[in-house]
Amino acid sequence: MTTTNKDLKAVASKEYKYGWTTDVESETPEKGLNEDIVRWISEKKNEPAFLLNWRLKAFSYWKKLVSEDKTPKWANVKFPEIDYQNLYYYSAPKSKKQLDSLDQVDPEILAAYEKLGIPLEEQKHLAGVAVDAIFDSVSITTTFKKELSKHGIIFCSFSEAVQDHPELIKKYLGSVVPYTDNFFAALNAAVFSDGSFCFIPKGIRCPLELTTYFRINAAETGQFERTLIVAEDNSYVSYLEGCSAPMRDENQLHAAVVELVAMENAEIKYSTIQNWYPGDEKGKGGIYNFVTKRGICRGNNSKISWTQVETGSAITWKYPSVMLIGDDSVGEFYSVALTKGYQQADTGTKMIHLGRNTRSKIISKGISAGHGQNTYRGLVRVMPKAYKARNFTQCDSLLIGDKCGAHTAPYVEVRNNTAQLEHEAYTSKVDEEAMFYCNQRGISNEDAQSLIINGFCKEVFQKLPFEFAVEANRLIELNLEGTVG
């Protein structure tokens, strides 16, 4: 009768399914980071002067932080110090000519997507989903652009946006996450290679779910994405982002920045499924995911909601946040973070209430298995003018086995006494007791586990667009499958 124990061990050591590398020639500058590299990247991308200047300012700010030894150390994660001079800062597949159809895409790259279960060939025909596929750092192909442009929606790679809409980039870049925000935001600003740009004009409800798949490929390449989404008055957009990366020995740094701007009555839904290489059984290798994501509800009655399902990466350090400036604006954060093996996640959100009647809701679900360590870190700040601000926070933890850990660090700062804040939390276990209870009702181990885990995640999965909810469910089950002998 020790099957359950064995099962739980098998869960904890589940192997990464998407480990391989694709043999595509990369065009990469030398290792390390200096002003010349920043200039090289900017020149390579034919950027206007304002952008180069911005990068250089960011770089000198970052250098200052490094010299003052101001790398962030407060998160509940452990890793050896990163040698920033031992990384490549730009990598792009060599064939960089404009493509008219998928037939022109490197077959190696297409095959890689096939393995990930993202057949572009099919996706192109899939009604309702526009795919801006990013392979390493350069956008390869963008579909559905014509359909979107009919509505005046701009959805393209960041590089294209810099060329075609420099005025918008100049206006909004860094307006939510300035390069001075934090160490990794400064690094990203200096060397970001590409990402997505999305602009929804006034009164437009984006008719498609916008999807981007990210992928890290070339060895030892720092991946610095930059995404900017602007929703003008009375507009709506739902944006999906999903990722997976190949097996690596060297730790790979990923420091993305995402900025969202919602004007009056606008709504932005941003969903993420993250499944990067988490490292091997002993915790070796794996992606370091240090991301800055922030949205700003600038207009009255605007709404931003973040939904994330985090299953990958060796280390996740991520706090999608909302600045609630407009009166009656709403910020939401729904998260499922799974850590197994030796994964570490320190994730949560910040809700900054500035306007009147602003509301925020935080639902965080942490699953820990094996030696995984999961920390929820959240801040709810109510500023003096945020009359009648409300927040509801729930952070729950599910433990699988007895070697993992769950931690919560909720911070609250209230400077207006009309605020109402609620906080709930519970910790539960998928332990022998729960499994036995299910077994005693005739439910097999496999079904019991999926019942318990799906139950735990349900509130968050319900917030995902339907196709993604199915994928998320499958992803969690895949990560924890093979548990019954």
User: Which of 78, 146, 426, 466 lies at the binding interface for other proteins (CB under 8 A)?
Assistant: 426
Q: How far is the CB of 330 from other proteins (least distance, A)?
A: 24
User: Could you say which of 85, 98, 101, 440 contacts other proteins (CB under 8 A)?
Assistant: 440
Is position 1 an interface residue for other proteins (rule: CB under 8 A)?
yes
Is residue 432 within the footprint of other proteins (CB under 8 A)?
yes
Candidates 40-48, 374-382, 402-410, 431-439; binding stretch for other proteins (CB under 8 A): 431-439
Q: 289-348: which residues touch other proteins (CB under 8 A)?
A: none
135 is an interface residue for other proteins by CB under 8 A: no
Q: How far is CA 39 from the centre of its chain?
A: 27
Q: Which is nearer to other proteins, 77 or 457 (CB)?
A: 457
Q: Rank residues 2 and 85 by Cβ distance to other proteins and give the closer one.
A: 2
Q: Report the residue number, 80 or 442, with the smaller CB distance to other proteins.
A: 442
Classify burial at 25, counting beta carbons within 10 Å of its beta carbon; exposed 0-12, middle 13-18, buried 19 or more: exposed
C-alpha angle 204-210-212 in degrees, rounded to nearest 5: 150
Q: Which letter, b or e, does each residue of 371-389 get, where b requires 16 or more Cβ atoms within 10 Å of its Cβ?
A: bbbbbbbbbbbbbeebbeb
Give the binding range for other proteins (CB under 8 A) out of 142-150, 335-343, 438-446, 466-474: 438-446
Residue 451 binds to other proteins (criterion: CB under 8 A): yes
Tell me how far apart the alpha carbons of residues 156 and 193 are, in angstroms, rounded to a whole number: 14
Rounded to 5 degrees, φ, ψ at 149 are -70, -20
Candidate residues 64, 96, 436, 470; the one interacting with other proteins per rule CB under 8 A = 436
Quick check: 402 binds other proteins (CB under 8 A)? no
Give the tokens for residue 29.
């500058």
Nearest distance from C-beta of residue 6 to other proteins, angstroms = 10
> How far apart are CB 339 and other proteins at their closest, in Å?
18
C-alpha 483/C-alpha 480 separation (Å) is 7
Contacting other proteins within 249-288 (CB under 8 A)? none
Count of C-beta atoms within a 10 Å radius of residue 128: 12
Q: How far is the CB of 442 from other proteins (least distance, A)?
A: 4
Name which position in 456, 464, 476, 479 contacts other proteins (CB under 8 A): 456
394 contributes a contact to other proteins by CB under 8 A: no
Distance separating alpha carbons of residues 212 and 278, to the nearest angstrom: 21
Least separation in angstroms between residue 373's CB and other proteins is 21
Element (H, E) at 188: helix 183-191
**Smallest separation, CB 420 to other proteins (Å):** 22
In the bound state with other proteins, the residue whose beta carbon lies nearer, of 233 and 432, is 432
Is 25 a binding residue for other proteins by CB under 8 A? The answer is no
CB 270 within 8 A of CB 239: yes
Span near other proteins by CB under 8 A; candidates 24-32, 43-51, 455-463, 469-477: 455-463
Beta strand pairing status for 92-93 and 26-27?
antiparallel
CA angle 374, 74, 348 (to 5 degrees): 45
Q: Does 4 bind other proteins (CB under 8 A)?
A: yes
With CB under 8 A as the contact rule, the residue among 72, 447, 470, 474 that binds other proteins is: 447
- Between the alpha carbon of residue 216 and those of residues 28, 245, 401, the distances in Å are 14, 5, 31
Terminal Cα distance for the chain, rounded: 12
The token pair at 469 is 């909810």
Assess 2 for contact with other proteins (CB under 8 A): yes
Is 5 a binder of other proteins (CB under 8 A)? yes
Structure tokens at 122: 């099919």
Q: Is 3 in the site for other proteins (CB under 8 A)?
A: yes
CA proximity to 476, closest of 275, 272, 262:
275
Q: Please say which residue, 105 or 452, places its beta carbon nearer to other proteins.
A: 452
Q: What values do phi and psi take at 85, rounded to 5?
A: -85, 0
Rg of the chain in Å (alpha carbons): 22
- 24 token code pair: 């595509």
Chosen residue from 94, 96, 284, 458 binding other proteins by CB under 8 A: 458
Pairing relation of β-strands 390-400 and 138-142? unpaired
Residues near other proteins (CB under 8 A): 1-5, 396, 398, 426, 428, 432-434, 436-445, 447, 451-452, 454-459
